[in-house]
Amino acid sequence: MNLILYAVPFFFVLIVAELLADRWRGVNNYRVADAVNSISTGVLSTTTGLLTKGLGLVTYTFALQHWGLFELPAHSLWVWIGAFVLYDFCYYWLHRCGHERNILWAAHSVHHQSEDYNLSTALRQTSTGFLLSWIFYLPLAVLGVPLVVFVTVAALNLLYQFWVHTRHIGKLGWYEWFFVTPSNHRAHHAQNALYMDRNYGGVFILWDRLFGTYQEEDDNEPVVFGVTTPLASWNPLWANLQFYSQLWNDARRTEHVRDKLRIWFMRTGWRPADVQARYPLAKPELSQFRKFEVALDVRRQVYVVLQFAVYVALGSYLMNAQSSLSVQALLLGGGAMAMGLFVLGAALEDRPWSLKLEGARLLLNLPLVWLAPLVGLWPASPLAWVALGSHSLLSVCGLYGCGSRVTRLAS
């Protein structure tokens, strides 16, 4: 049973509830572009995960069969409890290394790029974490944790982490000593020096207290959310590539062969001395920090949100139908998803070429509805032509009514 799939509707219900709480309390923890960008990275991560999750499952199964020291029973309650605790212990080290090593931070930084903090931030996930994260969970396979138990406790661990991404819940007394809470996780998402690289637990904060990485949220040090090298973009594809691009450019520019390799595995932020001297990175002082913003009129924002809703629906469809879809179908659906989210990101940034790109996206609905039945993405049906044709026509009408003038603001 895919617990994440069943939880998705509740995620959006809770996001709406948080928006209502914002309004009731007279605060504003959401910006349209930031929330769309966060959820876009989550949709993109989920879609790519349909194609890449096999890597983790195959390696885990191999380790379980060939390296497992025990054969633990899947029906034992103690196996489930032990696996849940051990999974979070492994997650702690993955998460900690994700902050302390360049190659792992390149993947994990996506989750920290938002300069707001709300429940949509919880959905902001990497599309490249699958490359190395599986390594950290091999101890569970070696100890004989059954695959079904591993997959389930992994989902439960991820589900727990959703609710801690809110500013509406204060400190929770004794609970703060044992578990990850909104308060100590807000500190984790800070770019303040006091909070930097702290509070790595997923469910249990005990690991941080045990290994010296705990930091309490201090009322005298308000949290400033985001990363020290801002993303400054609403594009979910660039969000996943930003730090990889920096590492690649630094590796290419350095004159030392040894540094070309070790930069990927050094502590986060390390750069070759010759590159640092020739290409210094400007990092704004915290006192001068301003959230990235691009001013769009309400009509343009509404247009993007409505188009984005179509991709959320497509992502939900792919998750529901994944077991019956071929690799070709997933590639086509994932490709359409990636292109659409890229175009909407460009629209939110009001790039000079975004309107032309949006027109091209709508035109590509025609070959999409033709190709989809050929690869099994969905059955051939006149209804599909009518639906996508109507969507494209209405979108063109909406696009015509949207202005394109934009002014960048400092908020």
State the CB neighbour count (10 A cutoff) for residue 350.
19
Q: In the chain, which stretches have pLDDT less than 50? A: 403-411
Residue 58 sits in the same domain as residue 186: yes
* Residue 89 resides in a domain: yes
**What's the rounded Cα separation, in Å, for the pair 118 and 35?**
9
| The CA-based dihedral angle spanning residues 18, 21, 25, 26, taken in that order and rounded to the nearest 10 degrees | 70
Q: Which of 166, 192, 211 is the last residue of a domain?
A: 211
User: What was the pLDDT predicted at 152?
Assistant: 97
* Residue 284 resides in a domain: no
Residue 186 sits in the same domain as residue 333: no
Residue 186 sits in the same domain as residue 86: yes
Domain that holds residue 344: 298-402
User: What was the pLDDT predicted at 389?
Assistant: 83
User: What was the pLDDT predicted at 404?
Assistant: 42
Residue 17 sits in the same domain as residue 165: yes
The DSSP output letter for 107 is H
User: What was the pLDDT predicted at 407?
Assistant: 38
- Cα separations in angstroms, 280 against 75, 193, 270, 272: 56, 20, 12, 11
Q: Which of 211, 234, 260 is the last residue of a domain?
A: 211
Question: The dihedral of CA 269, 130, 49, 185: what is its sign?
Answer: negative
Q: Which of 161, 180, 211 is the last residue of a domain?
A: 211
Residue 310 sits in the same domain as residue 178: no
User: What was the pLDDT predicted at 408?
Assistant: 38
User: What was the pLDDT predicted at 410?
Assistant: 37
* Residue 307 resides in a domain: yes
* Residue 182 resides in a domain: yes
Counting the structural domains of the chain, the total is 2
Per residue in 162-218, pLDDT (tens digit) is 999 999 999 999 999 999 999 999 999 999 999 999 999 999 999 999 999 999 999
* Residue 146 resides in a domain: yes
User: What was the pLDDT predicted at 3?
Assistant: 87
